[in-house]
């Protein structure tokens, strides 16, 4: 006798999963490997940047007061008493009507308070001495990059939980972090089930399909910031699957299976959970696609039974697995970013359950517009490529028309600053 599954609301399902949030664990990685990781500690500036007053241009460092009378009718001439390149310090103090040839990035010599750009100076040689003359005044502070103008000592530059993008790598390098404290990446196991599955390198055979879900999920795992471990695909043989799941659980922090969670004769996931004594948190969610999403826990470890249907599997991952991965990184907002948008095309399907429609969002005159992407069935694989968001249509609704206000969940928000790129590109004229 088949037990009737009772769907629970999506929000409640997410909450049940989030109770299994990861314990944060830190590790040190070389700076070169820090990109794409999440910082495990705040980073504060232990010095000003720049650490000394410096020249932003190639030119001549002078005392501004000496330029007070300069004009095109009355050029003022300075004796060039030395030269200073970036990385060196000019030891002497510069005196009246003296100038020092200075390169970009070099410290301003003592006594000087302005820099004349090379292009504005006329240079000449006389009796083996170098001179330069100027035809205008230079106020104190002209062309000086002041100590601490970029970063002041003590400022918090990066926060714990922050994604390390290339800019963060630059800051870490600036402050001497050759080893960076980051959160350890959880290891997420992936198992595909189904006798119909072939691996991508295998030739198609009648009735068979290629296993796309395992590879898709491994990419999603990496995008979420974790490490994927693939245990392979297994046919619908209960005993084999029990052993594989049991052994895999020993090696991972969290395990995902795809397929075998529905009510078919070979949908063995419930039997596997029973055999390994895992506690089922829920086995039906009031959502489409992915209503069959099943989650169980065994000790501290969570087992996600995602749908075999590619789009349902994809959505199940983003809604349930991604946020729990993000708890390992102290992310303040582990869930997909939610924004309001305008629907860019009619979507009139009924939504008995909350529906997550794969969509492409972009800006149109400053307004976020979401257009459902392609083939909408939960078995679809084609519409996943272009989808950069999920439109959220509440359960019990239908008949959404172009122009209506809806909510979207952004899929490509990992780095925050890298989204949305298309309006940035548009702003270049």
Ligand X SMILES: Nc1nc2c(c(=O)[nH]1)N[C@H]1C(S)=C(S)[C@@H](COP(=O)(O)OP(=O)(O)OC[C@H]3O[C@@H](n4cnc5c(N)ncnc54)[C@H](O)[C@@H]3O)O[C@H]1N2
Q: Are strands 337-343 and 279-282 parallel, antiparallel or unpaired?
A: unpaired
Size of the site for ligand MOO (CB under 6 A): 9
Distance CA 58, CA 375 (A): 59
Nearest residue to ligand X by CB is 308
Please state the closest distance from residue 375 (CB atom) to ligand MOO, in A.
13
263 makes contact with ligand X (CB under 6 A):
yes
Distance CA 144, CA 399 (A): 63
Pick the closer one to ligand X by CB: 79 or 349.
349
292 makes contact with ligand X (CB under 6 A):
yes
Distance CA 226, CA 254 (A): 11
Pick the closer one to ligand X by CB: 108 or 390.
390
Choose the binding region for ligand X from 52-60, 97-105, 110-118, 192-200 (rule: CB under 6 A).
192-200
Choose the binding region for ligand X from 18-26, 160-168, 176-184, 260-268 (rule: CB under 6 A).
260-268
Length of the chain: 429
Pick from 55, 143, 162, 211 the residue near ligand X by CB under 6 A.
211
CA angle 299, 300, 306 (to 5 degrees): 95
192 makes contact with ligand X (CB under 6 A):
yes
113, 140 in Cβ contact below 8 A? Answer: yes
DSSP letter at 320 equals: I
Q: Is 154 exposed, middle or buried (0-12, 13-18, 19+ CB in 10 A)?
A: exposed
Q: Is 73 exposed, middle or buried (0-12, 13-18, 19+ CB in 10 A)?
A: exposed
Choose the binding region for ligand MOO from 125-133, 136-144, 283-291, 393-401 (rule: CB under 6 A).
283-291
Choose the binding region for ligand X from 21-29, 33-41, 207-215, 351-359 (rule: CB under 6 A).
207-215
Distance CA 133, CA 71 (A): 10
Size of the site for ligand X (CB under 6 A): 26
Pick the closer one to ligand MOO by CB: 305 or 323.
305
Q: Which of residues 286-305 bind ligand MOO (CB under 6 A)?
A: 288-292
Please state the closest distance from residue 234 (CB atom) to ligand X, in A.
11
CA quadruple 223, 225, 228, 233: dihedral positive or negative? negative
CA neighbours closer than 13 Å in the CB half-sphere of residue 397: 14
213 makes contact with ligand X (CB under 6 A):
yes
Distance CA 314, CA 395 (A): 20
Q: Which of residues 347-366 bind ligand MOO (CB under 6 A)?
A: none
Query: 211 is in the binding site of which of ligand X, ligand MOO, none (Cβ under 5 to 8 A by kind)?
Result: ligand X
- SS3 (DSSP) at 123: strand
Q: Which of residues 351-410 bind ligand X (CB under 6 A)?
A: 378-379
> Under the rule (CB under 6 A), what is the footprint of ligand MOO?
288-292, 307, 309, 312, 378
> Under the rule (CB under 6 A), what is the footprint of ligand X?
192, 194, 196-197, 209, 211-214, 258-264, 267, 291-292, 307-310, 312, 378-379
């Amino acid at each position: 006798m088949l037990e009737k599954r009772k769907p629970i609301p999506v929000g409640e399902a997410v909450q049940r999963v989030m109770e299994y949030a990861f314990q944060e664990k830190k590790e040190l990685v070389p700076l070169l490997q820090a990109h794409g990781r999440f910082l495990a500690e705040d980073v504060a500036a232990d010095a000003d940047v720049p650490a000394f007053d410096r020249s932003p241009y190639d030119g001549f460092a002078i005392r501004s007061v000496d330029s007070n009378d300069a004009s095109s009718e009355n050029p003022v001439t300075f004796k060039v008493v030395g030269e200073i390149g970036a990385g060196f310090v000019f030891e002497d103090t510069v005196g009246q009507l003296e100038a020092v040839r200075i390169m970009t990035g070099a410290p301003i010599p003592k006594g000087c308070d302005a820099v004349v750009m090379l292009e504005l100076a006329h240079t000449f040689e006389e009796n083996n001495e170098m001179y330069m003359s100027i035809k205008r005044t230079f106020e104190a502070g002209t062309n000086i990059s002041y100590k601490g103008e970029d970063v002041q000592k003590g400022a918090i530059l990066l926060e714990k939980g922050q994604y390390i993008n290339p800019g963060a790598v630059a800051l870490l390098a600036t402050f001497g972090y050759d080893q960076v404290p980051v959160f350890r990446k959880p290891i997420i196991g992936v198992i595909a089930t189904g006798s119909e599955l072939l691996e991508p390198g295998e030739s198609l055979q009648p009735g068979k399909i290629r296993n796309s879900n395992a590879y898709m999920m491994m990419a999603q795992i990496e995008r979420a910031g974790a490490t994927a471990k693939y245990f392979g695909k297994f046919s619908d043989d209960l005993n084999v699957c029990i052993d594989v799941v049991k052994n895999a659980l020993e090696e991972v922090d969290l395990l995902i299976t795809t397929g075998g969670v529905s009510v078919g004769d070979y949908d063995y996931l419930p039997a596997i959970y029973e055999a390994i004594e895992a506690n089922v948190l829920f086995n039906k969610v009031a959502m489409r696609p992915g209503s069959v999403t099943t989650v169980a826990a065994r000790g501290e470890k969570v087992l996600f039974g995602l749908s075999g249907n590619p789009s349902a599997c994809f959505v199940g991952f983003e809604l349930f697995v991604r946020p729990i991965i993000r708890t390992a990184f102290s992310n303040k907002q582990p869930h997909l970013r939610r924004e309001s948008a305008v629907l860019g095309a009619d979507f009139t399907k009924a939504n008995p359950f909350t529906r997550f429609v794969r969509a492409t969002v972009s800006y149109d005159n400053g307004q976020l517009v979401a257009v459902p992407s392609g083939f909408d069935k939960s078995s679809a694989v084609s519409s996943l490529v272009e989808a950069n968001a999920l439109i959220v249509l509440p359960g019990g609704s239908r008949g959404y028309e172009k122009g209506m206000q809806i909510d979207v969940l952004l899929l490509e928000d990992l780095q925050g600053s890298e989204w949305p790129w298309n309006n940035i590109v548009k702003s270049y004229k």
